[in-house]
Amino acid sequence: MRVLMMSAVLLAALGPASAQNYPTKPITVIVPFAAGGPSDTIARLTVAGMGKVLGQQLIIENVGGAGGTIGSARAARAEPDGYTLFIHHLGLATSATLYRKLSYDTKTAFAPIGLVSDAASTFIARPDYGPNTFQEFVAFAKANGDKVSYGHAGVGSASHLCGLLFQTAIQKQITTVPYKGTGPLMNDMLGKQVDITCDQATNTTGPIKSKQVRAYAVTSKARLTSLPELPPAGEAGLPGFEMSVWHGLYAPKGTPQPIIDKLSAALKQALKDTTVASRFADLSTSPATDAQATPEALQKKLLGEIDRWAPIIKAAGVFAD
C-alpha cells in the first residue's frame, strides 16, 4: 500500500516535469499509407521541421492498408505518452462512414494537435492512355466503365473518395484497383499497369511537370498557379465537382495537454520553416496557417468533415464492409 502511494506521488510529481522536458527520446509518427505517396511526403517534410524545433528525431512508420484504417487503429491503441503521433488526411473523416465496423471511435480516439496542409487532387493517367482531354475521358468512362482501371489507395483513402465522387457524377461504375498508398500506385502508372487515378497534387505535380503522366484536370474550384494548364474538373465536364485533401496531426486520446500544446507550437514553427514552406509550394500544397495548426481548428475540421461526407457516402451506397 505504501509502495503504491509512493508511486502515485512520484507519478504526480513526474507528470508536469516530464511534459516540460518532453521529448527526451525519438517520437514515432504513424502514416497510414505506404512510403512514397503524398501523406508520406507531407509527413516527412513536416516532421523534419518539427524535429529541428523539438531537438529530437521524429521517425515515420508507414502502416498502410485498408484505406488508412489499419494505421489509424494502431495510432488509436498507442500509449498516450507523446511518443506516438499520427498524420492522416480527410480519409480519417470519411472512413468513419465508409467502414461500419472500426476498432476505434473516430470522433474520440485521437487528441488533435493541428491541421498540417491542404491540397487539391488531380486526375492523371498513364502516359499512353487514349483520351486526350478530361471531357474525352469522361465520355469514354461513361461508355466503357468496365474498361477503365482506376487505381486508389484503398477504401477510405482520398483517391478512393475522388473515384467514388467521379462514379456518382457520371452515374456509371468503373473498375477500381486498391493499393496500400498512391506511392506504389504511381510506380504502376509509370509502368503503364493502371490507367488512371485522382491523387493529391502533392504527389502528382512532379510527374505532371515532367510529362511522365497524362494530366486531365484538378479538383479545385479554380486553376492552380503551379499547374495552370489543368482545367478544374467542375468546368471540364463534371459541373460542381470539387474536393480538397487536408492533413492533420494527432496523438492518441489521453496524451497530456502540455505535450499537445508543445507539439502544436512546434508544428506551427515547422510549417513556417523556409525549406518546408518552399517544398510544400513546389508540391502545390498549402501549409496550415497559425490559426489552423491548432487542436481546436483540427477538432472542428474533423467533426465537420465527418458530418459533411456521411450523407454523400450513404447516398452513393458504398461501404467497405
Give the interface with ligand ASP as residue ranges (CB under 6 A): 33-34, 37-40, 91, 152-153, 157-159, 181-183, 199-200
Give CA–CA dist 79/252, Å, rounded. Answer: 7
Minimum CB separation of residue 153 from ligand ASP in Å reads 4
Q: How far is the CB of 117 from ligand ASP (least distance, A)?
A: 12
> Shortest distance, CB of residue 252 to ligand ASP, whole angstroms?
21
CB of 96 vs ligand ASP, minimal distance in Å: 15
Which residue's Cβ has the minimum distance to ligand ASP? 37
d(CA 60, CA 215): 30
Considering the complex, state which of residue 91 and residue 256 has its C-beta at the smaller distance from ligand ASP: 91
- Report, in Å, the least distance between residue 321 CB and ligand ASP: 18
Quote the least distance from Cβ 16 to ligand ASP, whole Å.
Answer: 37
Name which of 80, 165, 113, 162 is nearest 301 in CA terms: 113
Which is closer to ligand ASP, CB of 152 or CB of 301? 152
Whose cell is 483513402? That residue is: 157
Q: Which is nearer to ligand ASP, 114 or 156 (CB)?
A: 156
Q: Which is nearer to ligand ASP, 38 or 234 (CB)?
A: 38
Measured between alpha carbons, how far is 132 from 59 in angstroms, rounded to an integer? Answer: 42
Task: Quote the DSSP letter at residue 100.
Answer: S
Helix residue spans in 217-285 (DSSP H) = 257-272, 274-282
| Nearest-angstrom CA–CA distance, 38 and 46 | 12
Between 54 and 70, CB nearer to ligand ASP: 70
DSSP 39-82: HHHHHHHHHHHHHHHHTS-EEEEE---GGGHHHHHHHHHS-SSS
Q: Residue 55 or residue 191: which is nearer to ligand ASP going by CB?
A: 191
CB atoms within 10 A of CB 108: 9
